Amino acid sequence: MAGKFELKKAKDGQFMFNLKAANGQVILTSERYKAKPSAENGIESVRKNALREGAFERLENARGEPYFILKATNGQEIGRSEYYSSKTSMENGIESVKKNAPEARIEDLTG
């Protein structure tokens, strides 16, 4: 089973999506978008950029926990990961995005 994008409405009425791996774990969370078509464009941008060399920026939070940001060619953030316990786990998360994003179906939960 492949991964999926869950497109949904946030509590503030804006749209966002999560990319989930086949096991249901969230591997990437988007920014919030004012309009649904913008969020759908964000999903396409994840698909396009997931396999692009240099698209993933690897960072650490103040507690030293690694995470990554997926960026478009213009440098804009498309989505970010959770915080990981190790760099190895973070790299596995990046590989999961690369593997799942291109073929992931969209599950529209916006109602």
Q: What are phi and psi of 107, to 5 degrees?
A: -105, 110
pTM for this predicted structure: 0.93
| pLDDT at residue 53 in the model | 93
CA 82 to chain centre: 10
Mean pLDDT of 33-55: 96
| pLDDT at residue 47 in the model | 96
Total domains, the chain? 1
DSSP sequence for 73-90: TTS-EEEE----SSHHHH
Q: What is the pLDDT of residues 62-90, one digit of tens each?
A: 999 999 999 999 999 999 999 999 999 99
CA 37 to chain centre: 17
Give me the domain span that covers residue 47.
4-108
Q: What is the pLDDT of residues 9-37, one digit of tens each?
A: 999 999 999 999 999 999 999 999 999 99
CB 49 within 8 A of CB 72: yes
C-alpha pair distances (Å), 28 with each of 19, 46, 97, 105? 5, 9, 7, 14
CATH number at residue 93: 2.30.29.80
**pLDDT at residue 94 tops 90:** yes
**pLDDT at residue 1 tops 80:** no
